[in-house]
Structure 1
Amino acid sequence: MENWIDQPITDPAVPRRDARRLTVALALLLGRTDPEPPRWVRRMFGFGGLCAAVSGAALGLTAVEAGRGSTGLIAMMAFLAGVLFVGVSLPNPAERLARQYAGRYVIPAELDEPALDLLARARRAVLDVTGSRVHRRGLLDAIANDVVLPERLWEIARLVRIHADLRAEQALALTEVITPELTAVLGPQQEALRRSVAAVTERVWELEAYASRVRSADSALRASELQQSNGTYLDLLAQTGDTEGMRALNAQADALTGILREAVAAGRTL
């Protein structure tokens, strides 16, 4: 099973190249066992390294002018050590990229269970649509699938992340002594959160309804391929004068065409 919960859901506005780099960067950061050094430690290394590098360079120039080989070697070592410390003080490329796009990606693994459940349902619906045969053959609305679906998935991911953060905040507040003042504040906040969750759930239902129609359209496409041999069956029925059977075959063809049209219309309503 694909370990999708470690794969970020990224804002579609992020350039594709950076989105791919961000996925790799976050995978590296999630798999890292050593914690990132505190900022003050990095600053200390950077300042110390800079001083060592400058001092080493100055001492080296002085040694060259004076013709002192041993002093020049010491100066070179000081310079290299300074460069090393400066390098340690700088954040690695993965950290820089993650900070650059902070707030524009959601890592499912960091969500709580209710948020993860909604996001998983939305993601599954999107994959069902984009992986369908009718989509690959260009029979659906390309704008709905290529533009709207990624935007909807990102919007749902962004909102459920806020929901998870607010639930954690409320759970922490409920560990304190419950007072009338606390209840007066938490009550409206909980109701606002409930309404927002209900609205996002409705959006997920819309995606699932669209995916259901697309699955029906896929079945209709398969059935329409089988209908290519309907001519043989119609000739067979005509030879026996079975007009009722001929009407049934023709009605089935019309119904399958209608199913495909409904799927296209559902995509456009998004």
Structure 2
Amino acid sequence: MATIDGVQAYNRVPRVTVDFWLIKLMAVTVGETAADFLALNMGIGLQTTTLIMMVVLAIAIGLQFSRKRYVPWTYWLAVVLVSVVGTLITDNLVDTFGIPLETTTIGCTILLALTFGAWYLSEKTLSIHTIVTTRREIFYWLAILFTFALGTAVGDYIAETLGLGYLATGGVFAAVIALIAVAHFVLKADAILTFWLAYILTRPLGASFGDLLSQPIEYGGLGLGTIVTSAIFLAVIAGLVAYMSLLAPRRDAHAA
């Protein structure tokens, strides 16, 4: 809980804990595999899938904004759907409009930087510990969307354009995230900077392992398919959300 203009308000996003990072990693994996399943396996096409999922995301975001506090199932539903839509946006730019992954990466980086810039100029902070107003939450979700789109572009560029493969790409991002963790916990680097760097990089990390599990063996994957892979990770997400829902009242009481 934080105080804004003398009024106490609940933070609308979760604390950054181990379960936060676990479920976030699962969510980005589902974003990759579910986007592929909806656009390809169901045969409704990339553009139609994107439009449908944008409408579903808008409903989920509206539900999230109506809560005015952190509620695990509404928050993480929104994250999963943002992950799917962020993936679809990048896929549309590359596959539908023929924009190279390098250009897409640069464009998403600029949009994310502009979002952070406008957020900081407006609120004088980029901290996720005080997302207690609607304006701050708007900036927060815009940043989340662009981190997913950027992470998709970077991951695909390294795995496909540079030919590093899914497993090696996942290993690269895991190593970079480990270095960021060392910078945060050991070198005491800025907490806000290290959080957002890690948040961006968990997207290509999760997507790489999602592709590794779902893609056919001849394309360097393990051949589980998008349906099985998505179902496995959705089940894990549901379990973690249930656990976080039980834990949330205790955390709120402790914070109070």
TM-score normalized by the length of structure 1:
0.22
TM-score normalized by the length of structure 2:
0.23
